[in-house]
A and B are shown apart, each in its own frame.
Chain A
Amino acid sequence: MPYLTEKSSGSISTVVLGATKENGGTRGYTLTIGGQNSLPFQNYEGVDPHRAVIAAEILDIEPVSWPDELKKAWGGVLGDPAAWAKKAVEGGADMVYIKLLSADPDNGGRSANDCAETVRAVLEAVPCPVAVQGCGVDEIDKGVISKVAEAFAGENLLLGLAGQENYATVTAACMVHKHTLISSSPLDINICKQINILISEMNMPMNRVVIDPSIGGLGYGLEYSYSVMERGRIGSLQGDKMLAMPVIGFIGSEAWKAKEAQAHESDFPKWGSEAERGVLWETITATSLLQAGIDILVMRHPDAINIVKAQIEALSQPVTAA
């Protein structure tokens, strides 16, 4: 029974994150993602040239409401984004993803300038490519993202999130100041395409776009994101260019929302130790979506990051077609 191989007419675009000195940035290295023309890890029937990468999620406010297990894993760095980023990269993360939550009036309402200073501190602390998003309030994020884009022009940051309401501002900022953007849609493949079309109509080069199709964590909607992502990958391979970008997913924040990731063994003795359960809840949210085609995994727990990284390595080994 020789292998039955399937050739694709389309492929995922190749996207570079970060810029080194030669290319106008200050990063010690860049990361390249995408470029596949086969289903995930089926490298015998196409090319799967760039591995999925893991971004550690860094918040600019201390995450006091995080589960204890997660806080314990990071030790004392949680109040200090630069120290946190440094520890994450030294611990195995390929890059960092900063959420500027402090811009939200409910979180102190720091100014766009102050937010940019946080980004500067992180950029100085780590050599890796850096992703930055605002606080989630569209009106405020327009100012914050524009400021960050301008202040670090040429760094090729990964900036987000560009949704239906604010895509024009984020896209313009990325185009002018040479960054890559995250096009974000709410678990709906048609809206995803629509936003990408709008972005491409602004003449944004599509090899500087990553898509966030929104995900649900394990046990809570994972199946929807799994199928949206899988359909997107299959559509891309069949030649749909408006879906054919690398995919980013917020694994950590979704996984750790689950009751099963957080609940203490004393309250749910039949669920086993929470220390193990939370890490695995995040791990499996990640490993299952790898099979649907995710390219950037934004994660929280250092142990989960390392387990998933090892899986990506193992899955990427060349296959011998029978």
Chain B
Amino acid sequence: MALTGLQIFKLMPKTNCKDCGHPTCLAFSMALASAKIALDACPHVSAEAKESLGSASAPPVTKVTFGVGDKARETGDETVLFRHDKQFFHPTCLAVTIDDNDPNFNARLETINDLMFERVGEKVSIDAIALIDKSGEKDSFVEHAKIIADKGKFAPIYISNNAEALAEAAAATKAAKPLLYGATADNWEAVAKAAKEADCPLVVTAANINDLGALTEKVGAVTKNLIIGATAAGISQRLADLTQIRRQAIRKKVRPLGYPSIISVVGTEPRVQVAEASIYIAKYGSIVVTDVADKASLLPLCALRQNLFSNPQVPAQVEPGVFAVGEADANSPVYCTTNFSLTYYTVEGEVSSSKIPSWIIATPTDGTSVLTAWAAGKFTADKIAEFIAEIKLEDKVNHKVVVIPGHVAVLKAPLEEKSGWKVLIASNEASGIPAFAKEHFAK
């Protein structure tokens, strides 16, 4: 159970040496109690204190890393149950399966390797390739594991019931730090030993959370580098199990469940798999495994992950600047809004549906919306005029007319004066833009 700062302080050296970066041992103890710092930040802590504090100060969900270099992925280490409480820190890893009996193995691997995208200016991709032991033959599995570790562009996961096959695949490719899947009640001793020897993280699986907890305690005596695999039948039971695993770890610090989770979709039809994967991205899947490998299916899942793992305290922003919508040219109208991404993309959507190629200025307002920015003095005639000059708008278009949102109609006169541009006032809400555009700019 969690200790208070004072309880921790009793076990500290009390030298106030500042080596941990805190002014006093008490300050360090307080930071440790609220999980803002790890115990190993104190170089002088006694072995005895470590023993008694280790479990209390550990994060509720451990952090597990698999893969190396660019392919390395950190997972787990979450501290809240709902993103609005603080933030989810480690985006769900998306893993796509490939099996060692696939006659088109290389082509499939190439398809998977290509699951990288760019959207809203960010690079996103899947995270892992999950090799399934379908052949049931150890040599085939190990050979294909080597190919994945070598040619795969994402972190490797090896899925097999055969302890020997897992052990050999891990030993042969340990430099790639694969995730081994996994230890069951029947084979855990051999698999845990192999994982420990190869220094690879290991998935522990069982069909319900009672058995899972019992098994992680046993396996935990060999290696603590674990991920929990919930394998109950049915989506509703899986969702409930994932929820319980995370809830017990965070609310009660239940150690045997305080690990990241891995979950495979149960559906078979591709669209159903995608829908199901989205549920586990929202609710507590640290790694989600699907068989779907086509771009159109993975892009929406990547977008969902971008959304839900963003920091709720920091507004999403677009780069300030001037952007073309459609084939905008020197004659196209210019709309001015803020750089809050929600505002910007709403305006962009409406401008685009007006079907009149246009320019949009995303004025730097620290990612605040039109009225908020205006009230905070970040979307004023001065600031807009300054930005119009900075981006050299007069070089982009051969007219001097700029459109502003109706909500800030009061800026018309001062902006015209400061910038020398004629100002048109559009609707209050972006939804009025198509009608506005039709009235003012339709040829």
Contacts and interface: CB of A to CB of B under 8 A. Distances in A.
A4 B297 contact: no
Interface in A190-225: 216, 218-224
Contacts of B256: 1
Contacts of B296: 271-277, 280
A2 B240 CA distance: 12
A82 B119 CA distance: 39
Contact of B300 (A1, A281, A291, A315): A281
A190 B389 CA distance: 39
Interface stretch (A177-185, A227-235, A240-248): A227-235
B279 A310 contact: no
16 contacts: A1-B248, A3-B240, A41-B239, A219-B303, A219-B307, A220-B346, A221-B345, A221-B346, A223-B83, A231-B82, A270-B116, A271-B296, A279-B271, A284-B304, A317-B235, A322-B210
Contacts of A322: 208-210, 241, 244
B61 to A, nearest CB: 15
A259 B353 CA distance: 11
Interface residues on B, range: 35 or more
Q: Which A-B residue pairs are the 9 nearest by beta carbons?
A: A272-B295, A272-B296, A276-B296, A1-B213, A219-B303, A277-B296, A223-B307, A291-B282, A319-B240
A289 B217 CA distance: 35
B161 to A, nearest CB: 23
Nearest to B83: A227
Contacts of A1: 209-210, 212-213, 244, 248, 254, 256-257
A216 B247 CA distance: 28
Contact of B274 (A283, A290, A310, A318): A283
Contacts of A281: 300, 303
Nearest to B352: A259
Given A4-B248, A218-B303, A260-B299, A230 B82 contact: yes
Interface string A282-309: 0110011011100000000001000110
Contacts of A3: 209, 240, 244
Contacts of B208: 322
A288 B282 contact: yes
Nearest to A231: B84
B299 A288 contact: no
A287 B279 contact: yes
B306 A230 contact: no
Interface in A92-127: 106
Interface in B283-308: 283, 294-297, 299-301, 303-304, 306-308
Interface in A240-278: 257-260, 270-277
Nearest to A277: B296
Given A222-B304, A288-B282, A322-B244, A283 B236 contact: no
Interface in B269-287: 271-272, 274-276, 278-279, 281-283
Give chain A's interface residue range (CB within 8 Å of chain B). Answer: 35 or more
B248 A320 contact: no
A223 B431 CA distance: 21
Given A271-B295, A272-B297, A291-B282, A2 B83 contact: no
Interface in B217-240: 234-237, 239-240
A203 B342 CA distance: 36
Most chain A Cβ neighbours within 10 Å, of B237, B239, B248, B296: B296
Contact of A218 (B240, B243, B297, B307): B307
B443 to A, nearest CB: 18
B136 interface: no
A42 interface: yes
A311 B208 CA distance: 22
Contact of B243 (A42, A258, A273, A276): A42
Given A1-B248, A43-B236, 10 more contacts: A1-B210, A1-B212, A65-B355, A218-B303, A219-B120, A227-B312, A273-B296, A280-B300, A283-B300, A284-B303
Task: Pick from B257, B300, B435 the residue with the most CB of A within 10 Å.
Answer: B300
B251 interface: yes
Interface in B181-217: 208-210, 212-213
B431 A284 contact: no
A174 B431 CA distance: 27
Contacts of A221: 342, 345-346
B400 interface: no
A167 interface: no
Contacts of A239: none
A223 B312 contact: yes
B210 A272 contact: no
Contacts of B353: 65, 257
Contacts of A106: 435, 438
A316 interface: yes
A271 B117 contact: yes
Contact of A41 (B240, B312, B431): B240
B310 A223 contact: yes
B73 to A, nearest CB: 21
A308 B275 contact: yes
B272 A307 contact: yes
A34 to B, nearest CB: 19
B349 interface: yes
